[in-house]
Amino acid sequence: MERKQLGDSELILNPDGSIYHLHLLPEDIADTIILVGDPGRVDMIGELLDHVELTKQNREFRTITGTYANKRITVLSTGIGTDNIDIVINELDALVNIDLKNRTIKEEHTTLNLIRIGTSGALQADLPVDTPVAAKISLGFDSLLNFYADRDKAAILDMEEKFMDFVNWSPKLHRPYFIPASDELFNKVAFDMAYGITISAPGFYGPQGRYLRLKPWDLEMNDKLSQFEYNGLKITNFEMESSAVYGLGKLLGHNSLTICNIIANRMRREFSKDYKKGVRKTVELVLDRLSKT
């Protein structure tokens, strides 16, 4: 049976055949991809590679592909927020699982290994700044995955109900969702790291309980979050992208893992004095472990 072609307005390509936002061709990326928020962090990781074969950039999406200890790796910046992650994960998947010339979905599926390395704020007092924390489960305060039909197939539904009851979740807010990390990536890369539940917030201030001039809807929310526990896991930290990486990655058949350095401890009101040094150390550790897989 002839496979349905994807329309020009759905699968958007540039004149050179590259995918619309990322400006990448299928041969430009490796199966192992490190995702970072800051385009400048792409260059920092690029300095650690043994060889760089490709550098491309469009808007905040900067890409380097090269090798580290004979392991081919792509490093890509996503910018801030799950809305950007929606673009990045869908377009990376299209590069490996859609025939761009014929505009048809390939019969053979390719699995990507997606490792996000970022920064975050701790919600547990015993997590010092500059500590790397792996997201065993990602909790989405954003609404992104709720727009996808198979959302419930990826989410831990029992955890949603218990969480909303525990924190007295407002009906004015969209429904949160919980997505697990890839066990394979976690066991290979983050096996000896601190870990827990990482929240992806749709903003830096109010959604993370920061109070400058605009009051958050619940001033006690962060205290409630720090006390929530499910099957021995506690909420460890805030960031802004992981839930979409995990959710879309799971629905599309990819392995996902997020590791974030703690640069602020919200409970102790501390901030790292030199967080870039700590992030570089975590990157070096992740690269070493990826090169052995």
Indicate whether 126 belongs to any domain: yes
Number of domain units in the chain: 1
Per-residue pLDDT of 201-255, as tens digits, reads 999 999 999 999 999 999 999 999 999 999 999 999 999 999 999 999 999 999 9
CB 25 within 8 A of CB 17: yes
Q: Which residue has the higher pLDDT, 293 or 212?
A: 212
Indicate whether 1 belongs to any domain: no
Task: Give the domain CATH number at 247.
Answer: 3.40.50.1580
Indicate whether 282 belongs to any domain: yes
Indicate whether 4 belongs to any domain: no
Rounded to the nearest integer, the mean pLDDT of the chain is 96
Least confident of 4-8, 44-48, 105-109: 4-8
Per-residue pLDDT of 168-197, as tens digits, reads 999 999 999 999 999 999 999 999 999 999
Q: Please say whether the dihedral angle defined by the alpha carbons of residues 138, 139, 141 and 144, taken in this order, is positive or negative.
A: positive
Instruction: Fill in the amino acid letter for 178.
Output: F
Residues 129-146 as b/e (b if ≥16 CB within 10 A, e otherwise) read bbbbbbbbbbbbbbebbe
Give dist(CA 205, CA 183) in Å, integer.
32
**CB neighbours of 28 closer than 8 A, spacing ≥ 6?**
18, 54, 56, 63, 65, 74, 95
Range of the domain at 30: 26-290
Q: What is the secondary structure of 229-277 as a DSSP string?
A: EETTEEEEEEESSHHHHHHHHHHHT-EEEEEEEEEEETTTTEE-SSHHH
2 has pLDDT over 90: no
For range 99-113, the mean pLDDT: 97
pLDDT band with cut points at 50, 70 and 90 for residue 268: confident
Give dist(CA 152, CA 197) in Å, integer.
18
pLDDT band with cut points at 50, 70 and 90 for residue 98: very high
User: Which 3 state secondary structure label does DSSP give 1?
Assistant: coil
Q: How many helices (H) and strands (E) does the chain have?
A: 8, 14
Query: What's the pTM value of the predicted model, to 2 decimals?
Result: 0.95
User: Which 3 state secondary structure label does DSSP give 80?
Assistant: coil
pLDDT for the residue numbered 255? 98
Indicate whether 118 belongs to any domain: yes
- By CB neighbour count within 10 A (0-12 exposed, 13-18 middle, 19+ buried), where does 26 fall? middle
Indicate whether 20 belongs to any domain: no
Indicate whether 18 belongs to any domain: no
